[in-house]
Amino acid sequence: MDLPDWLPPLVYLADHGGDWNRYVEALYAYYRQDFCDSQPMLNGRRVARRVTPVDQGKEACFWHLISEGRVESQRLPDPRRCERIRWPRPIVERAGDPPLKVWENRRGRDRRLCIWFEEADYLVVLVVRSGYYLLLTAYPVTHPHTRRKLQKEHSAYTKANAALS
């Protein structure tokens, strides 16, 4: 698949001499540029990030964007997440544009906004807060059952909203 021009290129470990520490610093610099030095906007609201806890001098949101695992304290770096560190911001900023699919869902008490670039198998998840969004996570969609679940959620949301119109 050809990616759109607005989507930045992947950031590879090999481009940093295979040095994990240099790579993490480069990833963090991109993260800071996209979410700390300025904040993206969506629907007239700013997109904030979770700062604490800070680990190794880096914000919680950053670690969540580049790692995976159910238990926060045991998350491990995910090469595919790392490579796509530059993708969340442009996807958020183009949330209303095709081919991105956008819908809300609920997880526990949280109302979440999902932005799925289905063609690139990449999902950005924001928590809806009063007056702003909170970047929760973003990740490549790698499992067929996850794709089916996202398609089902999006379809149900679209049908429900069409019925309200």
**Sheet with strand 122-129: strands edge to edge:** 41-42, 45-49, 132-140, 122-129, 110-117, 101-107
- The pTM score is 0.94
Check pLDDT > 80 for residue 34.
yes
Encode pLDDT of 84-134 as tens digits: 999 999 999 999 898 999 999 998 899 999 999 999 999 999 999 999 999
Q: What is the mean pLDDT of residues 15-33?
A: 97
Q: What is the pLDDT of residue 139?
A: 97
Q: 1: pLDDT confidence band, cut at 50, 70 and 90? A: low
Domain layout of the chain by residue ranges: 13-164
Mean model confidence pLDDT for the chain: 94
Q: Which residue has the tokens 């695992």?
A: 69
Q: Which amino acid is at 22?
A: R
Locate 118 and state its tokens: 């289905």
pLDDT at 148 over 70: yes
Give the integer Cα–Cα distance in Å for 117 and 92: 10
DSSP the chain: -PPPTTSPPP--GGGGTT-HHHHHHHHHHHHHHHHTSS--EETTEEEEE--PSPBTTB-HHHHHHHEE-SSGGG-EE-HHHHHTTTSHHHHHHTTTSTT-EEEEEEETTEEEEEEEEGGGTEEEEEEEETTEEEEEEEEE---HHHHHHHHHHHHHHHHHHHHH-
Look up residue 16 and give its amino acid.
Answer: H
Please state the rounded mean pLDDT for residues 20-48: 96
Percent of the residues in the chain that have a pLDDT greater than 70, as a whole number: 98
